[in-house]
Amino acid sequence: MDVSGLSVQDALEGTTLTVYVFTVGFGKPVGTRDVVRGLGLSSSSVAYRHLQKLAALGLLSQTESGEYIVKEKVSVRGYVWVGRYLLPRVLVYSFLFMAVLAVEVAVLVIHFGVESYMFKVFFVLMVLVTVAVAVLFLVEGVFRWRRLDG
């Protein structure tokens, strides 16, 4: 398969990216049947074509038995690897903002009885902004993750 004009980042999209993520997550050598069953592809020839493309890019190598193993785990634009899982970067950001939200709520609860009215109003507004940001990142992250999983 000729992928000479493509960078790895450009080639890793759509079904090819889904096959690559599945192969990394599988954790052991995969064959075309594993990919067809795991991803619900239409035929083994579709799976074979994408596995060959990934091998031509240098990301997979083929064993003597014809199965494919991950040769290299590369970064994917807009995503971050967490173990064998590829998560959208915005989903990671949502987790960060949820941690910030937990700290803000703890500070608000601790200081609620002793602080001034202005402090309470300011802090409640800050918590609301953090909630909005966390929810936006979470929704976008889940949407991207579901799109990645097919």
Residue with tokens 């966390």, as numbered in its chain = 134
- Residue 59: the pLDDT is 93
* Interatomic CA distance for residues 55 and 37, integer angstroms: 20
Q: What is the pLDDT of residues 74-106, one digit of tens each?
A: 988 889 999 888 999 999 999 999 999 999 999
Residue 28 φ/ψ, nearest 5 degrees: -150, 170
Say if residues 22 and 30 touch (Cβ distance below 8 Å): yes
pLDDT of residue 148: 75
The class that CATH gives domain 8-70 is mainly alpha
Helical H runs in 32-116? 32-39, 44-56, 89-111
pLDDT band, residue 2 (cuts 50/70/90): low
Percent of the chain at pLDDT above 90? 57
Q: How far apart are CA 80 and CA 58, in angstroms?
A: 20
Q: Which residue has the tokens 């939200």?
A: 101
Residue whose pair of structure tokens reads 């590829």 in the numeric block: 86
Calpha distance 53→107 (Å, rounded): 52
For position 131, what pLDDT does the model report? 97
pLDDT greater than 80 at residue 10: no
**Between residues 147 and 65, the one the model is more confident about:** 65
pLDDT in tens, 107-129: 888 888 888 888 889 989 999 99
What is the DSSP code (8-state) at residue 56?
Answer: H
Domain ranges, ordered by start, for the chain = 8-70, 82-148
